[in-house]
Amino acid sequence: MKKSNLVKEFVDQVISMSDYTDLDRIYLTNRVLRLVGDEALHQQTSSGDLLDLKAELVKTAQVAGKCGTSNNEADILEAQLMELIVPRPSVVNWRFWQTYQDSPTQAINDFYTLSKSSDYIKTRAIAKNVYFVTPSEYGDLEITINLAKPEKDPKEIAAAKKQANHSYPLCQLCLENEGYLGRMAYPARSNHRVIRFQLGQEDWGFQYSPYAYFNEHCIFLAAKHQEMKIERQTFERLLTILEQFPGYFVGSNADLPIVGGSILTHEHYQGGRHDFPMAKASIMTKLSFRGFTDVTAGIVKWPMSVIRLRSSKKEQLVELANKILTTWHTYSDETVNVRAFTGETPHHTLTPIARMHDDQFELDLVLRDNQTSKQYPDGIFHPHPDVQHIKKENIGLIEVMGLAILPPRLQDELHEVEKYLLDKPNKIKSIHLAWANELKTDFEINPKNVTQILQTALGQVFVRVLADAGVFKQTPQGQAAFLRFVQTVGIE
């Protein structure tokens, strides 16, 4: 391919993808040189892709000493370069809501496209993730090994510890992240934009997740920095979001440690355009709640404990969901180790997920219990020690719905397990030996089937992980206990 000037090619791309015109060319050139150094004027390129050009400019800046070599420093410069194609927040919001008047779907699509083209959504990094589907008795489950988000550089961690404590932004979900430069051990957000909207009487924001775990993975966040709380208002908000953002599901992590998500200090929900395995799961026990004739309900065939409610009447759904929540807050059943409190410490909450189904609101309520014990110090209803070689982290909203987010370490570790299964020289970790030996015993393994066997086995481990997190187990005793709970709520 014919060579061209790197800076000129990058500026050409910026002009073609932004509000800038050819009259801005000199200005843009100087903006780029301000970031990467004048040496870039002499660089040639054979690329015509904006992201490739951006990467070449970062390397040029690193050689010139304008940018450090750590991942964090490179990310900060990359975000500054990509911000050149992103309008200022007021313009992004004005365009969104102008388009929304005619087509909410188009407004959402346009914002999603902008978030990808500006590299705020790290599409190339996300493509590195390992993903496959594996069958189970609960339907096909989704497995990912998350390779998109780079591991933190030890040098960055050490440098961050030397820095003074920062209180701005207060957390990574605050609106103050919009346009924030970034710093050691804190992400670059120069190219980040947030759509403002009203949720009831409150100010909220809508943005996408940079390292998306599923299609159009987005975040709805409170403008005010406040702790997460599952309450009646949660159900009202979730169902309202369904109306305001058509085509998306929306759900919330639980609001207690162990069973909650990674950020409990800022009220937020996650959503997107994805059909999760749990949404496809069937009802195994139909329920009819007294006083709620307009709501169909049932216990979902799922390894966790899920009550599904469906109705066209929002208020009825909110009332019943809140009744289930308040009952669960104080419900105990010692026969199955379910305890609402230890002293004054609460253990019960919900993971709620809302979606539209055949023009009706559908609300899944997943019962959560965050007790610990001497036998299970990480959590009684948490992945137990024998499966923690695969998944030790909290089971949050996304895993609850049937998409496993497995740690990056597993890519190399599972490769060694494959070699062990094939009796090849290997460096298998001791934590995987018992599991690998079981597979050797149960299957005739050869080079053609080893990957499929391992993937299926991972799926079965994930079923166990979810079952461990399930409060009422999929056993006669567990399901009888589940029915005792819903009877307490009030069924006919």
Q: Residue 47 and residue 33: Cα distance in Å, rounded?
A: 19
Q: Residue 413 and residue 426: Cα distance in Å, rounded?
A: 10
Q: For residue 89, give the nearest of 205, 3, 170 by alpha carbon.
A: 205
Q: For residue 466, give the nearest of 313, 278, 311 by alpha carbon.
A: 278
Q: Element (H or E) spanning 123, and its range?
A: helix 123-126
Q: Would you say 283 and 362 are in contact if contact means Cβ atoms under 8 Å apart?
A: no
C-alpha torsion sign, points 101, 104, 105, 111: positive
Token digits of residue 450: 């080893």
Report DSSP letters for 143-209, one per residue.
EEE--SSPPPPHHHHHHHHHSPP--SSSSTTSGGGTT---BTTB---TT---EEEEETTEEEEEEE-
- Cis previous bond, 407, omega within 30: no
Q: Residue 424 and residue 145: Cα distance in Å, rounded?
A: 24
Q: For residue 349, give the nearest of 371, 334, 333 by alpha carbon.
A: 371
Q: Residue 88 and residue 101: Cα distance in Å, rounded?
A: 21
Q: For residue 470, give the nearest of 304, 240, 286 by alpha carbon.
A: 304
- Beta strands 403-406 and 141-145, pairing class: parallel
Question: What is the SS3 assignment for 299?
Answer: strand
Query: What pLDDT score does 262 carry?
Result: 75
DSSP state of 342: E
Q: For residue 364, give the nearest of 477, 276, 274, 288 by alpha carbon.
A: 276
Q: For residue 151, give the nearest of 128, 179, 118, 175 by alpha carbon.
A: 128
Domain residue ranges in the chain: 4-67, 225-381
Residue with tokens 């009831």: 200
Q: Would you say 269 and 396 are in contact if contact means Cβ atoms under 8 Å apart?
A: no
End-to-end CA distance of the chain: 73
Q: For residue 123, give the nearest of 113, 111, 133 by alpha carbon.
A: 113
CB atoms within 10 A of CB 312: 12
To the nearest 5 percent, what fractions of the chain are helix, strand and coil? 40, 20, 40
Token digits of residue 311: 């109705």
Identify the bridge partners of residue 221 per DSSP, sorted by sequence position: 205, 268
Query: What pLDDT score does 159 carry?
Result: 60
Q: Residue 13 and residue 84: Cα distance in Å, rounded?
A: 10
Tell me the mean pLDDT per 10 residues along the chain, length 492. 91 97 98 96 93 97 94 96 98 98 98 98 95 96 90 60 76 97 94 97 97 96 97 98 98 94 91 98 98 97 98 98 98 97 97 96 98 96 97 95 96 97 97 97 97 97 98 97 98 94
Query: What pLDDT score does 149 carry?
Result: 76
Letter string b/e over residues 135-163, b meaning 16 or more CB atoms within 10 A of that residue's CB: ebebbebbbbbbbbeeeebeebeebeeee
Instruction: State residue 353 phi and psi, 5-degree precision.
Output: -135, 130
Report how far Cα 2 is from the mean position of its chain's Cα atoms: 41
Question: What is the SS3 assignment for 326?
Answer: helix
Query: What pLDDT score does 152 carry?
Result: 58
Contacts made by residues 124-133, CB under 8 angstroms, sequence distance 24+? 124/51, 125/149, 125/150, 125/211, 126/211, 126/212, 130/411, 132/455
Residue type, 309: L
Q: Count how many Cα atoms sit within 13 Å of the Cα of residue 157 in the half-sphere of its side chain.
A: 4
Q: Report H helices in 25-103.
A: 25-36, 50-63, 71-82, 89-102
Q: Residue 12 and residue 29: Cα distance in Å, rounded?
A: 10
Q: Residue 420 and residue 441: Cα distance in Å, rounded?
A: 13
